[in-house]
Amino acid sequence: MIKITTIFGEDAVRKYEENNELPSEEWLADNGGVVDEKEFETEAEYNAYIAGVNDADGWSDYHIIRHRSEEADTSREENLWLRLGVSVRGSREEIERILNGDTETLRKLLDAGRYGIGGETYVPGSTVEEYNEDHDTEFEEEDVEFHL
């Protein structure tokens, strides 16, 4: 289960970013904006929602907070390491901080869903090799490329 809180509206997002606390219902009523909570059964559902919100980017500001569940059932899930090409959206100041190596700014934009997937994305051959060894499979041990 993936839980998120989304903050819609420029002023509401700014209020959250100032003190890292959700705006109160009273503040939202006086200043505008919406705080919405959602739950997703799968990563695919979550990604589809994020893609939709990203498509609406520019109409008004928003901020998405993904909550990590301690009760998540990962017994059926596996991890696969890959390189993912993304474009990150932020203010000029935020982009310049990232160019200076500011990990916190990059994580903030990624956590807020302010990115689009595209570009060079692939599973390295070494990852495929490790997967084969761990799972007794025989996939071709070469890079698996995606053009997103």
pLDDT average, residue stretch 120-125: 88
Q: How far apart are the first and last CA of the chain?
A: 26
Note the pTM of the prediction, 2 decimals. 0.42
User: What digits encode the pLDDT tens for the residues 56-66?
Assistant: 666 555 666 77
pLDDT average, residue stretch 47-53: 82
User: What digits encode the pLDDT tens for the residues 76-93?
Assistant: 677 788 888 888 999 999
Cα separation, 109 vs 146, whole angstroms: 23
Closest CA to 5 of 32, 31, 40: 40
